[in-house]
Amino acid sequence: MNDKSVDKNKKSVKKNTNASSKKKTSKKTNIKNVEKKIEQSIKVTSKSAVDNEKIVCETKENKFGFFEYALLIIIASLVFSVLGYFIGLKGNNNLIDDYATANQNLREFIEEYNYILENYYGEVDETELISSAIEGMLSSIDNYSGFIGKDSNNDSISLKGEYVGLGIGVLNNNDGNIVIATIYDNSPASKSGLKVGDVVLKINDEDFTGRDNKELVSKIDELEEVKLTIKRSEEELTFDLKKDKIIIKSVAYEMLENNIGYIQVGLFAENTDEQFSEALVELESKDLKSLIIDLRGNVGGHLSSVKNMISQFLDDSHIIYHTENEQGIEKVYSNGNKDKEYKIVILQDLTSASASEVMASALREQLNAYIIGNTSFGKGTVQTVRNIDGIGEYKVTTMKWLTSNGVWIDGTGIVPDLEVSLNEAYYKEPIRKNDNQLNSAIEYLKKIED
């Protein structure tokens, strides 16, 4: 689960491999400048976790060099986590001691960084050095903190819920060629006549036969208009496409028998709450009697999105979850205006995690929703995603979440009211009649309505 904040540095990197004594003097001065700026930031940021975010935001205006800025972000966002606390979250009596410890760690880090740059016998990629340092620190914290990198990332695109492109998803087939695996509705690709299974041969007459699909994605990112040459059966075809905004659908819905509404939520992207609201309004307009929310395979997403979705079922008197960090526990209330009166069933499986578990627990504990399937994954923490320009994104665990009743489900998951494992027949033939979990939900709702 992510709360996203982005900070960008606006200066470019200038690398000088022939370091002089003048350069070394400048570096030592930079150490003092960085420490001074950190000290100034820390003095004004000692009240809350939100204030700790300001350590980075405020120094954005200080016009640091690229690596000074990167190091500042590392220290502000990671070193304190590795040490097990954030500066300023303790009492004033401890603040000076905490700062002194962090300041010494910062000095040692920068000195070793400079030593490597000046004494390594060969070339040093400074950007790679910084990203490796970030990755190393994140790996020592927990399984959910990690370095994402600067390359185009499918997970990031999915969580945003939209992007500018052609509207295709690609992969490499067994022959090593790039194949179109997905085509999004109402996209340039769908309107052009491209089909799933088409083999990509060229982009703007550049041969892409046998190349990695990531190279194709990077190439398309560079272009506004694309001439795509593909092979379909034995025929070679060319399509001229212009990139456009692609809305990724994370919600599917339909009305089942007995006026049972069905909404499937694939993930909690930034725009999933809007899609969910449209689906719910449409189903309720068709005389909805009860509802199945399918969260199977949903590994989570944005906390703000799931909060808005839960609020469509509960008025603002309901606690829907809690967050906990070094400052304590905060209650989070629904922002809705009415409790839904119809019966709700949640479908979940072993991979339903994070935001899915927030939704399932809130609707069960506050609205008596019934859960069918398997015990969920059990992810009770929240990550913040941050961006360092030129290096890439990283995510770091910043808090834990608890259910509306104050239960931390991390590592244990949510146990369903009715345990039903998916039929083996469904894996072989994924059709409705073989989906025994969905069918169990339908039968349960029919039974309680009779």
Residue 51 banded pLDDT, cuts 50, 70, 90? very low
Please count the structural domains in the chain. 3
Q: Give catalytic status of residue 104 as yes or no.
A: no
Residue 146 within a domain: no
Q: What percent of the chain stands above pLDDT 70? A: 75
Catalytic residue among 354, 361, 376, 437: 354
pLDDT higher than 50, residue 380: yes
Residue 206 CB contacts under 8 Å (≥ 6 apart), including other chains: 219
Asked if 380 and 273 sit in the same domain, the reply is: yes
Residue 424 within a domain: yes
pLDDT attached to residue 445? 97
Asked if 18 and 112 sit in the same domain, the reply is: yes
Once rounded to an integer, what is the mean pLDDT over residues 300-319? 97
Residue 299 CB contacts under 8 Å (≥ 6 apart), including other chains: 267, 351, 352, 353, 354, 356, 377
Asked if 378 and 408 sit in the same domain, the reply is: yes
pLDDT attached to residue 46? 33
Ranges of beta strands (E only) in 243-280 are: 244-247, 251-255, 260-265
Residue 150 within a domain: no
Q: For residue 204, how many other CB atoms are within 10 A of its CB? A: 13
Identify which has the larger pLDDT, 262 or 42: 262
Q: Which of 131, 134, 129 is nearest to 112 (CA)?
A: 129
Residue 289 within a domain: yes
Q: Which of 182, 249, 252, 301 is nearest to 438 (CA)?
A: 252
pLDDT higher than 50, residue 87: no
Q: Give catalytic status of residue 14 as yes or no.
A: no
Asked if 416 and 442 sit in the same domain, the reply is: yes
Residue 22 banded pLDDT, cuts 50, 70, 90? very low
Residue 90 banded pLDDT, cuts 50, 70, 90? very low
Residue 152 banded pLDDT, cuts 50, 70, 90? very low
Q: What percent of the chain stands above pLDDT 90? A: 51
pLDDT higher than 60, residue 71: no
Specify the pairing of strand 178-183 against strand 168-172. antiparallel
Residue 145 within a domain: no
- For residue 179, give the CATH number of its domain: 2.30.42.10
Last residue of a domain, one of 215, 247, 279: 247
pLDDT higher than 60, residue 378: yes
Asked if 240 and 300 sit in the same domain, the reply is: no
Residue 168 within a domain: yes
Asked if 74 and 215 sit in the same domain, the reply is: no
Asked if 124 and 231 sit in the same domain, the reply is: no
Instruction: Judge contact between 409 and 361, C-beta under 8 A.
Output: yes
pLDDT attached to residue 403? 98
The CA distance from 430 to 118, in Å, is 60
- For residue 377, give the CATH number of its domain: 3.90.226.10
Asked if 412 and 293 sit in the same domain, the reply is: yes
Catalytic residue among 46, 290, 348, 383: 383
pLDDT attached to residue 58? 26
Q: Which domain holds residue 306?
A: 251-449
Which of 41-55, 80-94, 95-109 is least confident?
41-55
Residue 394 banded pLDDT, cuts 50, 70, 90? confident
pLDDT per residue over 190-234, tens digit each?
Answer: 999 999 999 999 999 999 999 988 888 889 988 989 999 999 998
Specify the pairing of strand 343-348 against strand 370-373. parallel
Q: What is the mean pLDDT of the chain?
A: 80
Catalytic residue among 340, 343, 379, 395: 379
Last residue of a domain, one of 216, 247, 278: 247
Q: Which of 1, 73, 85 is nearest to 37 (CA)?
A: 73
Distances (CA, A) of 417 to 27, 345, 369: 62, 10, 10
Identify which has the larger pLDDT, 247 or 316: 316
Tokens 């608890």 — which residue? 402
Asked if 243 and 319 sit in the same domain, the reply is: no
Tokens 């975010």 — which residue? 53
Type of residue found at 346: I
Asked if 255 and 242 sit in the same domain, the reply is: no
Residue 44 within a domain: yes
The CA distance from 249 to 448, in Å, is 32
pLDDT attached to residue 321? 98
Asked if 19 and 114 sit in the same domain, the reply is: yes
Q: Give catalytic status of residue 312 as yes or no.
A: no
Residue 153 within a domain: no
Residue 98 banded pLDDT, cuts 50, 70, 90? low
Across 26-30, 107-111, 131-135, 377-381, which has the greatest mean pLDDT?
A: 377-381
Last residue of a domain, one of 213, 228, 247: 247
Asked if 101 and 118 sit in the same domain, the reply is: yes
pLDDT attached to residue 85? 39
Distances (CA, A) of 366 to 71, 311, 329: 45, 11, 19
